[in-house]
Structure 1
Amino acid sequence: MAKVNPAVTYCSNIHPGESWADVMHNLNSHALEVKQRLKSNAPFPLGLRIAKQAVLEADDHAIAEFRQWCEQHNAYLLTINGFPYGTFHQTRVKENVYLPDWRERARVEYSKRLGDLAVALEPGAERISISTVPIAFKPAFNDADWPQAIAHVREVAEHYRDIFAHTGTKLVLAIEPEPACVLETTAEAIDFFARLDLPDDLRDYVGLCFDACHQAVEFESAAQCLQQLNDAQIPLGKVQVSSALQATDEEIQALLDFDEPVYLHQSVARHSKTGELHRFTDLPEFAAACERGDVFDECRVHFHVPIFLQHLGRVGTTQHFLRELLPLVDKSVPLEVETYSFAAIPENLRHGSVGENIARELEWVHKLLF
Structure 2
Amino acid sequence: MRLRYADGRLAHLSYCTNVHPAEDLDGIIAQCDAYAVAVREQLGSEVLGLGLWLAAPVAAELAADPTRRKRLRRELDVRGLEVVTLNGFPYQAFQAPVVKHAVYQPDWTTGDRLNYTVNLATILVDLLPDDAVRGSISTLPLAWREPWNAIRARRSRRMLDLLAAELARLHARTGRTVRVGFEPEPGCVVETTSQAVDLLSGIDTRWLGLCLDLAHLACAWENPETALAALRIAGLPVVKVQISAALAVARRSGGSARRPRRERPRRERRRSAP
TM-score tier, shorter chain, comes to: 0.7 to 0.9
Aligned residue in 2 for 1:244: 247
Shift of the 235–146 alpha-carbon distance from structure 1 to 2, 3 Å rule, reads same
The answer to whether the 8 A contact 2:69-2:126 is kept is yes
Q: How does 1:192-341 map to 2 (within 5 A)?
A: 192-194=199-201, 197-198=202-203, 202-241=204-243, 242-246=245-249, 271-272=260-261, 276=262, 278-282=264-268, 304=272, 338=273
CA contact (8 A) 2:60 2:116 kept: no
- Aligned pair count? 260
Q: Does 1:169 align with 2:172?
A: no
Name 1:261's counterpart in structure 2.
Answer: none
Contact 1:214 1:244 in 2 (8 A): no
Contact 2:143 2:188 in 1 (8 A): yes
User: 1:222–1:122: structure 2 CA closer, same or farther, 3 Å change rule?
Assistant: closer
Letter in 1 for 2:138: S
Query: Is 1:132 aligned to 2:160, yes or no?
Result: no
In the TM superposition, what is the alpha-carbon distance from 1:6 to its structure 2 partner? 2.3
Which runs of 5 or more residues in structure 2 are unaligned? 5-9
* CA displacement at 1:143 relative to structure 2: 2.8
2:68 to 55, 62, 72: 62
Structure 2 partner of 1:150? 157
Shift of 1:271: 4.8
More strand per residue: 1 or 2? 1
Structure 2 CA distance, aligned partners of 1:245 and 1:135?
Answer: 28
- What TM-score do the two structures reach when normalised by structure 1? 0.65
Q: Structure 1 stretches of 5 or more lacking a match?
A: 251-268, 284-301, 305-337, 340-370
1:203-226: CA deviation from partner (whole Å, max 9, x where unpaired) = 210011100000111111111111
Cα shift at 1:122 = 2.8
Higher relative contact order (CA 8 A, sep 6+): 1
**8 Å contact 1:245–1:303 — kept in the other structure?**
no
**1:45 matches 2:49:** yes
C-alpha distance in 1 between matches for 2:59 and 2:99: 20
Partner SS state of residue 18, structure 2:
helix
Structure 1 or 2, whichever has the larger Rg, is: 1
Structure 1 residues 246 and 136: CA distance shift in structure 2, 3 A: farther
User: Structure 1's 112 and 282: CA in aligned 2 closer, same or farther, altered over 3 A?
Assistant: closer
- Counterparts of 1:131 and 1:145 in 2: how far apart (Å)? 21
Give the conservation status (yes or no) of the 8 Å contact 1:20–1:55. no
Give the deviation of 1:279 after TM superposition.
4.2
Q: Tell me which amino acid in the other structure corresponds to 1:148.
A: R
Which amino acid in the other structure matches residue 236 of structure 1? V
The code of the aligned residue for 2:247 comes to: A
Mapped to 1, the partners of 2:45 and 2:252 lie a distance apart of 43
Matched AA of 1:49: W
- Percent identity, aligned pairs only, is 30
Q: TM-score, normalised by structure 2?
A: 0.87
Q: In 2, distance between residues paired with 1:61 and 1:120?
A: 11
Which secondary structure does the structure 2 equivalent of 1:79 belong to?
strand
Partner AA of 1:15 in structure 2 = H
Is the contact made by 1:178 and 1:214 (CA closer than 8 Å) also made in structure 2? yes
